[in-house]
Amino acid sequence: MYLSDINHPNQLHGLSVNQLKQIACQIRDKHLQTVGVTGGHLGPGLGVVELTLGLYQTLDLDRDKVIWDVGHQAYPHKLITGRYKDFHTLRQKHGVAGYLKRCENTFDHFGAGHASTSISAALGMALARDIRGEKFKVAAIIGDGALTGGMALEAINHAGHLPRTNLLVVLNDNEMSISPNVGAIPRYLNKMRLSGPLQFLTDNIEEQFKQIPFVGESLSPELSRIKEGMKRLAVPKVGAVFEELGFTYMGPVDGHNIEELINTFHQAHQINGPVLVHVATVKGKGYEIAEKDQVGYHAQSPFNLSTGKAIPSNKPKPPSYSKVFAHTLVKLAEQNPKIIGITAAMATGTGLDKLQAKLPKQYIDVGIAEQHAVTLAAGLACEGIIPVVAIYSTFLQRAYDQIIHDVCIQNLPVFFCLDRAGIVGADGPTHQGMYDIAYLRCIPNIVLMAPKDEAELQRMVLTGINYNAGPIAMRFPRGSGYGVPLMEEGWEPLEIGKGEILRHGDDVLLLGYGTMVYPALQTAEILSEHGIEATVVNSRFSKPLDTEMILTLAEKIGRVVTLEEGCVSGGFGSAVVEALLDRDIVVPVKRIGIPDVLVDHAQPHESKVDLGLSSSQIADRILLMLFSQKTLPIMS
């Protein structure tokens, strides 16, 4: 059988181990060929090929349910669940998503782009099954990195309290999240990887007792207690924590030995109650370059398979915002040992790996634990440290209570740096940074700012470091800057709550925030061609607003347009409208940003066109809404 012939995972049933090995090779080839062209996550999927085939051969996927944690490790799952023919569209607009989506495929039982959710979701499905009196298996597959997330431990705690609820948890242990794992749990798992398989030890004990003449058969009523006693002797080194929490522990199992995996999963399905199968895998398995550089090949832009090197862009790009942020932070941290950078398992993504390399004592990686990261920062701030919490906008959502309760209520000087704010592209709805303006703006005490370009980002990093009157947050986008000149040092901090006028005009006031400042300037140029002159303001701060400037200009000009790369509901534009209403200034206001929709995976420029956020589209909308007598054709 060929991989291209598989449209349903149950087609794996009855295949020999050798046939499954052939399918595994074909999965890796398709995976590599596709990601080499489209870009995407590489190492996670390559590491779970045999695990996926071994597990799925022991399940009836017309009934049983498999829940994948995060989802970027589920490319092999996608390839054997009817998406082979469309896999070349991976992460492209209208193509196969990079994560699991319930609406994409009937075998995607739970969508996820954030880590540590699988056990909770799987337990919910298992409980629903039992409530309805149904019979099917539920399996959650979670990486060892995701076990550092408190939610996974909460779910394990709950599941272990339910001895009659059948649930299989497969621990995919490759010693990595994106970067090498940190903390006591990964260290403990590493010790377990070096131990022998526990379940087979107890099975051998049973066989040995049965061989004792005149004794073996008569001991059968006591056999389970003997097995359990012998097992407990081994457990302190292997799986003790999981056993004590109420799980039956099996493993570690070689995650690339299909026969061993199949035998183990068959045994696991026979055990009542929650079971944890510990599978040891290699991230990037089968592609030597990815095995040697597991951090660099977690995900890749399009690359040459033979060399592993990224395909160069046609045009050289300016440095990314993340690199500029990291470089500036390192420079400031070299001068001030109180500055501590904090990441939640995203050192490379946030650029804090540069701080780790240069100043390791001023760097903390807490693992996939955003809640802990924020409250840890609050504790550091209590003691006079300057914590810089670098977390993607989408991931900081996971620590919302800690931002309010532990930082803002106590008015502690924590500096939040929100990378990937706005439209992020191919990762899709789970990773779009749409909501941070709205979800932070409503909290008392916090200051919110966003740079118009990478040079202003440098000044904002210094502003955030210097600000000690309470918490402050800076959002910035994914991708390259504009190529504006940068300074190596000598940056000047910004005055809190003050914007700048970039262009003067009497017909309409364009208030740009962050990434929408340059599009506002381009929009003003288009409007000028139609006889409409705009004042353009780089607002810089959404909280506090520069009300002195904004309200004065709004009252004078009489027409206001706000532009932001974030959700319109409760965002920067809403802040401007509230300020106008509070001062009884009644003028036409149009808010332009992300409407109340989920933005699917596509290239960022494609999403912006779909949302009407290109400069020409914005100009058309302004002409239609505020100057209807001078309309242009509206672009679709």
Write a three-state SS string for 204-264.
HHHHHHHCCCCCCHHHHHHHHHHHHHHHHHHCCCCCHHHHHCCCEEEEEEECCCHHHHHHH
Query: Is residue 152 scored above 50 in pLDDT?
Result: yes
| CA atoms in the 13 A half-sphere facing the CB of 23 | 31
DSSP string, 388-409: EEEEEHHHHGGGHHHIIIIIIT
Query: Is residue 514 scored above 80 in pLDDT?
Result: yes
Counting residues of the chain whose pLDDT is more than 90, the rounded percentage is: 75
Write the pLDDT tens digit of every residue in 55-102: 999 999 999 999 999 888 899 999 999 999 999 999 999 999 988 999
Length of the chain: 636
Element (H, E) at 78: helix 75-79
Catalytic-role residue among 370, 454, 564, 565: 370
Taking residue 522's Cβ as centre, other Cβ atoms within 10 Å add up to 16
Angle between helical axes of 49-57 and 258-269 (0-180°, round to 10): 40
CA proximity to 99, closest of 64, 69, 79, 128: 69
CA proximity to 89, closest of 48, 49, 43, 39: 39
Strand partners, 630: none
What is the DSSP secondary structure assignment for residue 569, as one 8-state letter?
T
Q: Which residues are CB-neighbours of 169 under 8 A, at least 6 positions away?
A: 119, 122, 139, 140, 142, 156, 159, 247, 274, 275, 276, 277
Write the pLDDT tens digit of every residue in 396-407: 999 999 999 999
Query: Is residue 201 scored above 50 in pLDDT?
Result: no
CA proximity to 173, closest of 189, 157, 188: 189
Mean of all residue pLDDT scores within the chain: 89
Determine whether 283 is an active site residue.
Answer: yes
Strand partners, 480: 320
| Residue whose tokens read 């080194």 | 237
Per-residue pLDDT band at 197 (split at 50, 70, 90) = low
Q: What are the DSSP E strand ranges found in 544-617?
A: 560-567, 589-594
CB 356 within 8 A of CB 381: no
Q: Is the peptide bond before 213 cis (omega within 30 degrees of 0)?
A: no
Amino acid, single-letter form, for residue 547: T
Please state, in angstroms and rounded to a whole number, the distance separating the CA atoms of residues 349 and 323.
9
Write the pLDDT tens digit of every residue in 356-409: 999 999 999 999 999 999 999 999 999 999 999 999 999 999 999 999 999 999
Write the pLDDT tens digit of every residue in 3-47: 999 999 999 999 999 999 999 999 999 999 999 998 888 888 999
Write the pLDDT tens digit of every residue in 554-586: 999 999 999 999 999 999 999 999 999 999 999
For residue 70, what pLDDT is reported?
Answer: 83
CA proximity to 78, closest of 105, 60, 103, 51: 105
Write the pLDDT tens digit of every residue in 445-485: 999 999 999 999 999 999 999 999 999 999 999 999 999 99
Range from 53-67, 136-150, 227-241 that averages highest in pLDDT: 53-67
Q: Which residues are CB-neighbours of 14 under 8 A, at least 6 positions away?
A: none
For residue 168, what pLDDT is reported?
Answer: 98
Catalytic-role residue among 65, 101, 137, 283: 283
Torsion of CA 241, 242, 247, 253, to 10 degrees: -140
Torsion of CA 47, 52, 55, 57, to 10 degrees: -140
Q: Which residues are CB-neighbours of 613 under 8 A, at least 6 positions away?
A: 516, 519, 565, 592, 593
Please state, in angstroms and rounded to a whole number, the distance separating the CA atoms of residues 89 and 71.
17
Cα–chain center distance at 392: 8
Catalytic-role residue among 129, 398, 452, 591: 398
Please state, in angstroms and rounded to a whole number, the distance separating the CA atoms of residues 8 and 107.
9
Element (H, E) at 582: helix 572-582
Element (H, E) at 40: strand 40-41
For residue 496, what pLDDT is reported?
Answer: 98
For residue 412, what pLDDT is reported?
Answer: 98
Element (H, E) at 418: strand 415-419
Please state, in angstroms and rounded to a whole number, the distance separating the CA atoms of residues 244 and 236.
10
Amino acid, single-letter form, for residue 116: S
Q: What is the edge-to-edge ordering of all strands in the sheet holding 560-567? A: 500-503, 534-538, 508-512, 560-567, 589-594
Please state, in angstroms and rounded to a whole number, the distance separating the CA atoms of residues 572 and 517.
13
CA proximity to 326, closest of 416, 174, 461, 128: 461
Write the pLDDT tens digit of every residue in 153-185: 999 999 999 999 999 999 998 875 555 655 666
